[in-house]
Structures are given as structure tokens and as C-alpha cells.
């Protein structure tokens, strides 16, 4: 990954579908001096994503794409990314799977945060699955995005203990707290 030279931050887009707590956290991180990135665009596949409110709050450009025609939508997103000079994408609770073609055509890096200790529990319902299997540990992972779902090279991972009292909701809450530390740390690692 390119090293940071001078003061210019890398123009970044965050893709979301939901609450956007990671988005908010990344925006706040991007404003500190040691952040290698600035957040210049928020993309969502749904106008219902609560996290879109952070676009207004932090005065960041937002764009909603409905994916009814997947190929066309990806083409339009790529055009927008080019127009906005976006060089880096953070997926943060984005519920669409980007195509191999999109990943190849985007001339930059894409990373994602996933709420499990990858390679365990790719896909959905990770907390449920960890508890059902009586795992002793759960966690979160930031990884590069490749054409294969949740399978790209791991950048950083955080492990936490599952206690006897944990249920999927309490576990999700604990892990989310860790996600908010892991995502900025991973971005720093990636660019240093
Ligand atoms: C997080 O748990 C993230 O790991 C997963 O989706 C959730 C998004 O949460 N991919 P938020 O929208 O950032 O609050």
C-alpha cells in the first residue's frame, strides 16, 4: 500500500446499509491528524440506512443506489468514485456483495469489517453461530475485499471471550465496541 507523503489524506468512501456506528467512528477518526484518510463520500444501497444521517451531520456527500439492476448500479458507482477521486473504500455493514468485476475495475483498495474471527463464520448471523457452537471466543476482523466473500487477507483481528451470560445481542454489543477500535487501527496499519 502506498505510504502517506505530505499532508494530503487519501480520499475515501464508506459503504453502509444500516446503523452506521462504524461509519461515525471512521469519520471521527479521519479528522485526527494521524489519520491517513479523509471521508469524502458515503454510499448506501438503501435510503433507510440510519447511518445516512451522519452525512448531514458531518457535511459529507452521500449517494443512495438501489441495486435493482446490479451491473448498471456498479457502473454508476464506479463513475461516481472516479468523479469524486475516491482512492479507497471502507465497507462498514454494507449488505451487498460487490462483483469481481467491480473490485477489479476500482483502481484502489477495498477493505471490510466482519463480526467474527475469520475464517470462522463468513456471512451472516455470526454471533448466533458462535454461541450455538459453544465457542469460547468471538471477535471481529478487518480484511481486504476480494471476489470471494469474507475471504481476503486479514489486516487485523480482535478476539474477545464469550461468557456464560452472553446471548447474540450482548455479544454483538461487546464486539461492536471492539470494531470501533479495530477499524481505525487497521487503516493506520495499512498505510504505514
Ligand atoms: C458490524 O457488526 C459490522 O461488523 C458488520 O455489520 C455491522 C455494522 O454495524 N459488517 P454499524 O452499521 O457500523 O453500526
Q: What confidence score (pLDDT) does residue 84 get?
A: 98
Q: What is the dihedral of CA 10, 103, 91, 80, to 10 degrees?
A: 60
Structure-model confidence comparison of residues 49 and 2, the more confident one:
49
Structure-model confidence comparison of residues 159 and 4, the more confident one:
159
Could you say which of 114, 127, 143, 180 is catalytic? 114
> Which residues line ligand 1 at a C-beta cut-off of 6 Å?
16, 18-23, 51, 92-93, 113-115, 140, 176, 179
The ligand 1 atom nearest the CA atom of 94: 10
114 flagged as catalytic: yes
Helix, strand and coil percent figures for the chain, each rounded to 5: 35, 25, 40
> What average pLDDT is seen over the chain?
96
Q: What confidence score (pLDDT) does residue 30 get?
A: 98
Q: What confidence score (pLDDT) does residue 1 get?
A: 52
* Distance from C-alpha of 36 to C-alpha of 184, rounded to nearest angstrom: 10
Rounded to an integer, the average pLDDT of 9-34 is: 98
Closest residue by Cα to atom 6, ligand 1, is 93
* % of the chain beyond a pLDDT of 70: 96
Using the mean position of ligand 1's atoms as its centre, give its distance from the Cα of residue 20 in Å: 7
Rounded to an integer, the average pLDDT of 10-30 is: 98
pLDDT category of residue 3 using cuts at 50, 70 and 90: low
CA atoms within 13 A on the CB side of 88: 20
- Residue 149's SS3 state is coil
Rounded to an integer, the average pLDDT of 148-171 is: 97
- Nearest of 129, 130, 139, 136 to residue 159 by alpha carbon: 139
The ligand 1 atom nearest the CA atom of 19: 12
The contacts of residue 72 (CB under 8 Å, 6+ apart) are: none
Characterize the bridge pairing of strands 37-44 and 61-64.
parallel
Rounded to an integer, the average pLDDT of 95-123 is: 97
Q: What confidence score (pLDDT) does residue 4 get?
A: 52
* Distance from C-alpha of 178 to C-alpha of 176, rounded to nearest angstrom: 5
The ligand 1 atom nearest the CA atom of 172: 2
Amino acid at each position: 500500500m502506498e505510504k502517506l507523503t505530505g499532508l494530503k489524506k487519501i480520499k475515501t468512501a464508506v459503504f453502509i446499509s444500516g446503523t452506521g456506528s462504524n461509519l461515525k467512528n471512521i469519520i471521527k477518526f479521519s479528522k485526527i491528524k494521524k489519520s491517513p484518510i479523509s471521508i469524502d463520500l458515503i454510499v448506501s444501497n438503501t435510503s433507510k440506512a440510519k447511518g445516512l444521517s451522519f452525512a448531514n451531520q458531518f457535511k459529507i456527500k452521500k449517494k443512495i443506489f438501489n441495486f435493482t439492476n446490479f451491473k448498471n448500479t456498479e457502473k454508476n458507482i464506479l463513475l461516481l468514485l472516479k468523479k469524486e477521486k475516491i482512492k479507497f473504500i471502507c465497507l462498514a455493514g454494507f449488505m451487498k456483495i460487490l462483483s469481481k468485476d467491480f473490485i477489479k475495475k476500482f483502481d484502489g483498495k477495498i477493505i471490510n469489517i466482519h463480526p467474527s474471527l475469520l475464517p470462522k463464520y463468513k456471512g451472516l448471523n455470526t454471533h448466533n453461530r458462535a454461541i450455538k457452537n459453544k465457542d469460547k471466543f468471538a471477535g471481529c476482523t478487518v480484511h481486504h475485499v476480494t471476489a470471494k466473500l469474507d475471504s481476503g487477507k486479514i489486516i487485523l483481528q480482535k478476539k474477545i471471550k464469550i461468557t456464560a451470560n452472553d446471548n447474540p445481542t450482548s455479544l454483538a454489543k461487546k464486539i461492536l465496541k471492539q470494531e470501533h477500535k479495530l477499524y481505525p487501527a487497521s487503516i493506520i496499519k495499512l498505510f504505514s
